[in-house]
Amino acid sequence: MNYREKQKKDPAEKKIRKLSAFRKRYPDTAAEGLVPELFWEEQCDSCLEELSEKGQLMPAPGQELFMTGWVGAAGTLLLADWKKEQLCTRFPAAFVHTAWDREVFDNYRGNDSGNPYFQPAAFLAQGASWIAPVGEGGLMKTLYRLGKETGLGFRINSRRVPIRQITIEFTEFFRVHPWELFTGRSFLFAAEHDAPILRSLEQQGILCSKVGVLTKEKQKLICHGQEESNINRPEPDGLLTLLMEEIQP
Backbone angles phi, psi at 66, to 5 degrees: -130, 155
pLDDT score at 174: 95
Q: How far is CA 52 from CA 45, 125, 234, in A?
A: 10, 13, 22
Q: What is the mean pLDDT of residues 209-222?
A: 94
Does residue 3 have a pLDDT over 70?
no
pLDDT band for position 49 (cuts 50, 70, 90)? confident
pLDDT band for position 67 (cuts 50, 70, 90)? very high
Computed over its alpha carbons, how large is the radius of gyration of the chain? Answer: 17
Structural contact between residues 64 and 213, judged by C-beta atoms closer than 8 angstroms: yes
The β-bridge relationship of strands 153-157 and 220-224 is: parallel
Does residue 8 have a pLDDT over 60?
no
pLDDT band for position 241 (cuts 50, 70, 90)? confident
